[in-house]
Amino acid sequence: MHLKRNKIENFWPIPRKGTKFVAVPSHNKSEAIPLIVVMRDILKLVRNAKELKRIIHEKHILINNKLIHDINYPICFFDVINLQHINRNFKAIISKNKKMDFEEIAHKENTKILKVIGKKIIDSDHIQLNLIHGWNIISKEKVKTGDSIVINTEDKKILKVIPLEKDKKAVVIKGKHAGSHGKIEEIIERGGKKIAKISSEGKKINVWVKNIILTE
């Protein structure tokens, strides 16, 4: 499946002019960039889809410790790409210009931060946590919608819960302040919506809670 280049999401760090069509992620289309675009057009580590298919066939690419078989696998913010054949690792971050960027890291990370966007009661002891980017986890942890969790990507166990509250650090992932980060000074309700007042680089910004993810 392909998408007209001029219709790509604003966070894609590629020109809107060029070939008429670009690949789209196999899922999470509004939150992700397909692996082929990341590897070929952004990181420039392959020349074409054929090269990427060969690397995938040889089982060299892991994303969040998961072996990848699809050239259009979706890459979302905070995903870690491990390229075993060249011993390089990249983490997807959001830059100050609101684009997805890739920070090279020294070692493969075994953790990922995910935001809780919903919950479903399974039984008296277990709750299904619905997370951003299509993740779901069954847990006994006391977690609220809006909190973030840090999981071990190898066994999918929760290592830490980061509650949505004052003094926690957050990154803005959507909206006009996307790419900003700082400490939450206050959380208020306005018009039925929760707003976080964040101190970011010497200034105060107001951001809908739905547009942030807590980092610590």
Q: What is the pLDDT of residues 77-106, one digit of tens each?
A: 999 999 999 999 999 999 988 999 999 998
**Same domain for 201 and 135:** no
- The distance from CA 14 to its chain's CA centroid, rounded to whole angstroms, is 18
**pTM beyond 0.75, yes or no:** yes
Of 76, 79, 75, 74, nearest to 89 (Cα)? 79
Token duo for residue 62: 């892991």
Distance, C-alpha 91 to centroid of its chain:
9
User: End of a domain among 120, 141, 162?
Assistant: 162
> How far from 151 is each of 59, 104, 111, 141, CA to CA, in Å?
24, 21, 5, 12
Token couple for 94? 């959001």
204 and 133 co-located in one domain: no
**99 and 7 in one domain?**
yes
The helix (run of H) or strand (run of E) holding residue 111 is: strand 111-121
Are 100 and 26 part of one and the same domain? Answer: yes
Whether 93 and 120 map to the same domain: the answer is: no
Quick one: 118 and 101 in the same domain? no
The CATH number that applies at residue 144 is 2.40.50.740
Same structural domain, 142 and 207: no
Each residue's pLDDT tens digit, 123-155: 877 889 999 988 898 888 889 999 999 999 988
Give the whole-angstrom CA distance, residue 191 versus residue 123.
34
Could you list the residue range(s) of the whole structural domain that residue 190 is in? Answer: 169-214
Q: Do 75 and 122 fall within a single domain?
A: no
Q: Are residues 158 and 178 in the same domain?
A: no
More confident residue, 55 or 23: 55
- How many domains does the chain contain in total? 3
Task: Judge if 100 and 115 occupy the same domain.
Answer: no
